[in-house]
Amino acid sequence: MPAEWEPQAAVWLSWPHKRKTWPKQFRPIPPTFARVVAAISRFETVCINAAAELQPRARELCEQAGARMARVRFFDHPTNDTWCRDHGPIFLRHERTGEVALTDWQFNGWGGKHLPCDSDNRIPSAIARRLRLRHFTHEMVLEGGSIDVNGAGLLLTTEQCLLNPNRNPHLNREQIERNLRDNLGVDTVHWLGRGLVGDDTDGHVDDLTRFFKVDGIVTAVETNKRDANFAALDDNLRRLQKLRTPAGRPFDLVELPMPRRVAFQGVRVPASYANFLVINGAVLVPTFRQLDRDEAACTIIGRCFPGREIVPIDCYYLIWGRGSLHCISQQQPA
């Protein structure tokens, strides 16, 4: 599994249509997606899963947002929801031949919390057929947002998610690690603890901690000890400080401050700047209408990815669905 900063052929999205994912706030969501499409299309191809009846309006919104439509492709792939990071394929690249293939893991609606998910679970096989790529099917439940890799044998995940009995109750830690090593080409699995308050994915790592280079990790931190996220993020930071690279050195560890609390209808949502998306030549960074912290996060992420344009994307309404830029996307390596 290549690192996200390696060359990409495309980014996949699944067009939003499930109104109850954003209760009373769905109206701004399709235009937000269109702005994401427009931003990505400046740098590479965007492939969009969307049932045929959704495509005319989706295309219109993308055009209005200024997308480079020659780089936008629609596929008649119906979905239950929009979180392509989790229901889409996890792509692989052969280290000798360069062949790109995809893996198709089971998707059970984040432990059965959001059903039905049958159409979502068919997305990887549908993409494999359209792209004519080799297709490896696995019985283990795995969502793309629950893992992050450095492309050189290391993988980050959380105990809260992958060891949760609502995913793979028949597998223990060692068996899960073996599946990840055997099927994603990784050597070592590094475990963090718990995720953010309000994260209904049970602690996806892409809201917490990400590789930004082979020996570099950027991680969300909370300095307010009274904040509900402080204990989990502090524990994760301490675990990361103890990790060593295969060469025995500490990782280049960068701390990424959290935004202030974001809530809708009194419900806290898992807003995090760690949910950025790396694409060819740029990094899309979620922002939450907190000018000081948004700017600080963009600056820190920009230092992690020198030479790439930092593109802030307003995710204020998007996060009410409990995810932002990384959650809605899945990169296809070149």
Length of the chain: 334
> Do strands 309-314 and 282-287 pair parallel, antiparallel, or not at all (unpaired)?
parallel
Q: What is the DSSP string of 186-221?
A: -SEEEEE----TT-TTSS-GGGTEEEEETTEEEEEE
Residue 213: is it exposed, middle or buried by C-beta count within 10 angstroms (0-12/13-18/19+)?
A: middle
CA dist., res. 138 & res. 180, Å (int):
11
Distance CA 311, CA 302 (A): 10
Dihedral of the alpha carbons of 303, 309, 313, 319, in degrees to the nearest 10: -50
Rounded (10°) CA dihedral 113, 117, 118, 123:
-140
Answer for the pair 140, 169: CB distance below 8 angstroms, yes or no. Answer: no
3-state DSSP assignment of residue 222: coil
DSSP character for 227? Answer: S
Q: Are 82 and 61 in contact (CB under 8 A)?
A: no
| Preceding omega of 270 cis (within 30 degrees of 0) | no
Residue 87 and residue 112 in contact, taking contact as beta carbons nearer than 8 Å: no
- State the catalytic residue, choosing from 84, 161, 304, 327: 327
327 flagged as catalytic:
yes
Please report where in the chains the tokens 């790439």 appear, as a residue.
308
The catalytic residues are: 327
